[in-house]
């Protein structure tokens, strides 16, 4: 007969087996990732050849940059999660992962990176929780305004780019009703919340294993630069069954349109959270071209060339046809070290699973064998 | 089968999975390293060929004005003629280093002829060869890093066992032996 203590032991043993096997699987993934980074020598950007390479350098913004939701950091990638604890239950109330194209620079040059479909190895930098009585943690600085904004390059202000960014921030009118305003989505704060955020900030060291190819060989350069949140095939959150159920319910109630076209016509603009235009625009042949001052036109053209134009034969870094790009925070050694650490934890998981299996067996047989 | 036997079988299965994973991953990793070394070498070879093809253009462009610099021309031409794409890697490394040294000497001599520097085609050829020299240096570094990773890996556990099983040997670095890269004796005095 099974006693409550035995049942408890069986339960714990089952959790130990499953948890241990799960840790082992994660360890295998970490080992493979560490191998992929550690087995590739770092290429200098000036001597790149087409094919798979590893480059390491500091992050520079390209056309646009992101602002992280929980710490309002300027970055090119973020992953933010808020978990609400209610008694013994906890539920994820916010999760957002986004990236935009950027440049990586080493001592020999810079390379444009198109991160579509990349695997990101970026550890959490910010982990905090609400105080019992004091409300939101001091380090929480919820984003006010849009998540994507135009990036300013050092060429825009040779004297002091950071100061220029600060001035631009001060001069920007931040709307209070922005669609991706974190404060509106998450709320000003609460009790029993855990906050986690990982971000790749401008100026940080990053290691990338990806495929170098000519810009004109990218299958779809526009798509390659889309951020993850709006590139999900069925829309943001489609992979989450809870969100999918909410969306189905909203469609049935008639509060959610079937597709972007019926909701927005041709007004869906990438970067504003809706998606790309649903039809090609029709230009009026009789429309009068706007008059641009000659000096302004030259300046605008230079600025556009600097920020947007990529020559067809320029080498860029993107995902390969058969291997995804891997983008890891830190130097190659740091990234490979994280993978090796994950493998060691996986081995401990294997030990845990075996020990749990033995404990379960002993519980079932009713005691240690004599 | 009693529960303890099942637990023992589970433990052995977990251990077997770990061992198989390590063997397969190590094998794939070393095969990947070998492929990267071959690719890195192929990329060096492309750059060496490009330099080999570009050098006569530069020599013919400057030969008319620099007729007194026969030593430099002969040295560059001799080193260029030593290029053998099928030679062993250390021999090619020695030839490449010697050619680079000769080219640097040629550039140093060209600097003394303002009339040459003002010619657009000479400047362009010089820039192109300097660019190729830079690319060769970068790719040589990548090749040597890849060889270093491979040679280190096949000497470590557990890869050493797999390497022994498949008879994988260390690869040579792309470096010249001391003495193979003696700088050509070029007279840099103004004539």
B83-135 pLDDT tens trace? 888 888 888 888 888 888 888 888 888 777 777 767 777 778 888 888 888 88
Mean pLDDT of B18-47: 91
- Say which residue the tokens 């929480």 belong to: A140
Q: How far is A358 from chain B (nearest CA, A)?
A: 5
Please give the pLDDT value at position A231. 41
Residues in chain A: 370
**Structural domains of chain B, ranges and CATH numbers in brackets:** 14-165 (1.20.1440.20)
> What's phi and psi for A298, nearest 5 deg?
-65, -40
Residue A126 DSSP symbol: E
**Position A257 confidence tier, pLDDT thresholds 50, 70, 90:** confident
Query: Is some CB atom of chain A closer than 8 A to the CB atom of B36?
Result: yes
Please give the pLDDT value at position A139. 79
pLDDT digits (tens, 9 = 90+) for B130-160: 888 888 888 888 899 899 999 999 998 888 9
Tell me: pLDDT of A153 over 80: no
- Say which residue the tokens 């070498």 belong to: B41
Tell me: pLDDT of A22 over 50: yes
* Contact partners, residue B144, CB within 8 Å, separation at least 6: B173, B174, B175
pLDDT digits (tens, 9 = 90+) for A67-94: 898 988 899 999 999 888 877 788 888 8
Under 8 Å between Cβ of B119 and B48: no
Chain-centre distance of CA A343, in angstroms?
23
Query: Is some CB atom of chain A closer than 8 A to the CB atom of B175?
Result: no
Q: How far is A234 from chain B (nearest CA, A)?
A: 35
Higher pLDDT: A154 or B48? It is B48
Nearest CA in chain A to B34: A39
Mean pLDDT for all residues in chain A: 77
Under 8 Å between Cβ of A105 and A58: yes
**Position A294 confidence tier, pLDDT thresholds 50, 70, 90:** low
**Position A208 confidence tier, pLDDT thresholds 50, 70, 90:** very high
- Those of residues 112-141 in B touching chain A at CB distance below 8 A are 134-135, 137-139, 141
Q: Which chain B residues have a beta carbon less than 8 Å from that of A364?
A: 3
d(CA A153, CA A62) in angstroms, rounded, equals: 8
pLDDT digits (tens, 9 = 90+) for A96-105: 888 888 999 9
pLDDT digits (tens, 9 = 90+) for A26-73: 999 999 888 888 888 888 898 888 888 899 999 998 878 888 989 888
Please give the pLDDT value at position A303. 58
Residue A259 DSSP symbol: S
Q: What percent of chain B has pLDDT over 70?
A: 87
The interaxial angle of helices B3-63 and A4-38, nearest 10 deg, is: 10
d(CA A89, CA B188) in angstroms, rounded, equals: 82
* Contact partners, residue A154, CB within 8 Å, separation at least 6: A161
Whether ipTM tops 0.85, in short, is no
Closest CA to A189 of A243, A126, A131: A131
Q: Do A44 and B138 touch (CB under 8 A)?
A: yes
Q: What percent of chain A has pLDDT over 90?
A: 21
Q: Which chain A residues have a beta carbon less than 8 Å from that of B152?
A: none
Q: Is the peptide bond before B158 cis (omega within 30 degrees of 0)?
A: yes
d(CA A120, CA A101) in angstroms, rounded, equals: 13
Please give the pLDDT value at position A306. 55
Please give the pLDDT value at position A40. 86
**Position A344 confidence tier, pLDDT thresholds 50, 70, 90:** very high
| Helices assigned H by DSSP within A197-331 | 221-224, 228-231, 241-253, 260-264, 294-307
Tell me: pLDDT of A350 over 80: yes
pLDDT digits (tens, 9 = 90+) for A122-149: 999 898 888 766 677 877 888 877 778 7
d(CA B147, CA A359) in angstroms, rounded, equals: 48
Query: Is some CB atom of chain A closer than 8 A to the CB atom of B166?
Result: no
Under 8 Å between Cβ of B115 and B139: no
Q: How far is A57 from chain B (nearest CA, A)?
A: 16
Helix H or strand E segment including A56: strand A51-61
First-last CA distance in chain B: 97
Percent helix, strand, coil in chain A, to 5, is 35, 25, 40
Q: Which chain B residues have a beta carbon less than 8 Å from that of A41?
A: 36, 40, 142, 145-146, 148-149
Kindly state the tokens that stand for A196: 């986690």
Higher pLDDT: B96 or A226? It is B96
Nearest CA in chain A to B39: A51
- Say which residue the tokens 């770092």 belong to: A42
Higher pLDDT: A234 or B98? It is B98
Q: Which chain A residues have a beta carbon less than 8 Å from that of B139?
A: 47, 49
Under 8 Å between Cβ of B102 and B52: no
Q: Which chain B residues have a beta carbon less than 8 Å from that of A47?
A: 134-135, 137-139, 141-142
Chain-centre distance of CA A146, in angstroms?
16
Could you give the dihedral angle defined by the CA atoms of residues A202, A207, A210 and A216, in that order, rounded to the nearest 10 degrees? 30
Least confident of A191-195, B119-123, B180-184: B180-184
Under 8 Å between Cβ of B172 and B90: yes
Under 8 Å between Cβ of A110 and A100: no
Please give the pLDDT value at position A345. 94
- Measured CA distances, B157 to A135, B17, B24, B26, B163 (Å): 52, 18, 14, 10, 10
């Amino acid at each position: 007969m099974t006693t409550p203590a035995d049942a408890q032991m069986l339960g714990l043993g089952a959790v130990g087996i499953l948890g241990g096997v799960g840790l082992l699987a994660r360890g295998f993934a970490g080992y493979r990732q560490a191998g992929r980074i550690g087995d590739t020598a770092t290429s200098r950007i000036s001597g790149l050849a087409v094919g798979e390479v590893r480059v390491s350098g500091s992050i520079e913004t390209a056309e646009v940059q992101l602002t992280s939701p929980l710490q309002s950091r300027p970055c090119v990638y973020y992953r933010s999660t808020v978990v609400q604890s209610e008694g013994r239950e906890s539920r994820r109330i916010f999760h957002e992962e986004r990236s935009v194209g950027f440049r990586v620079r080493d001592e020999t040059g810079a390379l444009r990176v198109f991160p579509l479909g990349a695997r990101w190895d970026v550890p959490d930098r910010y982990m905090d929780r609400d105080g019992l009585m004091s409300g939101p943690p001091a380090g929480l600085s919820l984003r006010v305004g849009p998540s994507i904004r135009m990036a300013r390059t050092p060429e825009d202000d040779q004297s002091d780019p950071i100061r220029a960014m600060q001035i631009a921030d001060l001069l920007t009118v931040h709307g209070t009703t922005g669609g991706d305003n974190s404060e509106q989505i998450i709320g000003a704060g609460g009790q029993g919340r855990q906050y986690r955020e990982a971000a790749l900030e401008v100026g940080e060291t990053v290691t990338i294993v990806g495929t170098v190819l000519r810009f004109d060989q990218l299958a779809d350069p526009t798509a390659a630069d889309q951020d993850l949140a709006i590139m999900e095939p069925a829309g943001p959150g489609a992979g989450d069954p809870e969100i999918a159920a909410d969306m189905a319910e909203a469609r049935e109630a008639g509060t959610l349109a079937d597709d972007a076209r019926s909701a927005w016509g041709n007004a869906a603009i990438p970067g504003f959270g809706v998606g790309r235009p649903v039809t090609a625009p029709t230009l009026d042949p009789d429309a009068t071209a706007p008059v641009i001052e000659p000096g302004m036109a030259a300046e605008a053209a230079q600025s556009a060339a600097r920020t947007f134009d990529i020559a067809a034969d320029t080498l860029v870094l993107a995902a390969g046809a058969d291997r995804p790009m891997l983008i890891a925070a830190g130097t190659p050694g740091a990234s490979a070290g994280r993978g090796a650490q994950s493998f060691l934890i996986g081995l401990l998981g294997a030990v845990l699973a075996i020990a749990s299996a033995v404990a379960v067996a002993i519980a079932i047989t009713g005691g240690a064998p004599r | 089968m009693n529960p303890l036997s099942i637990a023992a079988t589970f433990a052995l299965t977990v251990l077997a999975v770990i061992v198989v994973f390590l063997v397969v991953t190590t094998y794939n990793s070393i095969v990947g390293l070998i492929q990267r070394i071959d690719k890195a070498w192929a990329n060096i070879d492309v750059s060496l060929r490009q330099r080999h093809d570009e050098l006569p253009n530069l020599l013919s462009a400057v030969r008319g004005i620099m007729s007194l610099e026969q030593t430099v021309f002969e040295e560059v031409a001799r080193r260029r003629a030593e290029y053998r794409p099928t030679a062993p890697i250390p021999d090619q490394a020695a030839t490449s280093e010697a050619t680079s040294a000769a080219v640097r000497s040629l550039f140093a001599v060209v600097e003394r002829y303002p009339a040459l520097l003002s010619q657009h085609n000479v400047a362009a050829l010089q820039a192109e060869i300097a660019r190729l020299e830079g690319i060769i240096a970068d790719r040589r570094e990548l090749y040597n890093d890849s060889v270093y990773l491979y040679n280190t890996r096949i000497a470590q556990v557990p890869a050493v066992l797999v390497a022994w099983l498949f008879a994988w040997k260390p690869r040579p670095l792309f470096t010249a032996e001391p003495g193979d890269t003696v700088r050509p004796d070029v007279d840099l005095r103004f004539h």
